[in-house]
Structure 1
Amino acid sequence: MPYNQIFQVLMKGGQDSERPNIWVHLARNNAIMLNEPPKVTGHNVMTNVSQPEDMPEAFQTAWNVHDMQAFGSLFTEDATFVNRFGHYVRGINEILALHTPIHETIYQDSMLSNQLIDIDHISDDVAIIHFWSRLSAGEAHPAGPHELDTLILAVLKKCHAGWRIRALENVTLTNPRTGETILRDTPSENRH
Structure 2
Amino acid sequence: MPTTHDSAAVTAVLDSLVAAWNRHDADAYGRLFTEDATYATYVGTLYQGRQDITESHRVLFTTFLKDTLLADEVVGVRFLGPDTAVVTGRGDTYKGSRPRRLGKVQTYTLVREADGEWRIAAFQNTKRRPLTEAVSFRFAPGLVPAAGRA
TM-score range, shorter chain: 0.7 to 0.9
After superposition, residues 7-46 of structure 1 pair within 5 angstroms as none
Shift of 1:57: 1.3
Q: Which residue of 2 aligns with 1:92?
A: 50
Q: Aligned pairs, how many?
A: 128
Q: TM-score, normalised by structure 2?
A: 0.75
Structure 1 residues not aligned, in runs of 5+: 1-48, 139-144, 178-187
Higher helix share: 2
Encode CA deviations 1:126-182: one digit per residue, 9 max, x unaligned: 1100111121047xxxxxx996621110110002151000011011111363xxxxx
CA distance in 1, matches of 2:46, 2:64: 20
CA distance in 2, matches of 1:168, 1:136: 20
Q: Which residue of 2 aligns with 1:63?
A: 21
Change (3 A) 1:114 1:190: farther
Change (3 A) 1:71 1:136: same
Amino acid at match of 2:127: T
CA distance in 1, matches of 2:73, 2:63: 26
2:60 is aligned with 1:106: no
CA distance in 2, matches of 1:95, 1:131: 20
After superposition, residues 92-171 of structure 1 pair within 5 angstroms as 92-137=50-95, 149-159=103-113, 160-171=115-126
CA distance in 2, matches of 1:191, 1:165: 33
Question: Using CA pairs below 8 Å that are at least 6 residues apart, which structure has the higher relative contact order?
Answer: 2
Q: TM-score, normalised by structure 1?
A: 0.60
Q: Is the 8 A contact 1:50 1:163 kept in 2?
A: no
Structure 2 residues not aligned, in runs of 5+: 1-6, 138-150
Quote the RMSD (CA, aligned, Å): 2.6
Q: Is the 8 A contact 1:80 1:168 kept in 2?
A: yes
Amino acid at match of 2:106: I
Q: Secondary structure at the match of 1:104?
A: coil
CA distance in 1, matches of 2:103, 2:78: 22
2:29 is aligned with 1:76: no
Q: Is the 8 A contact 2:71 2:98 kept in 1?
A: no
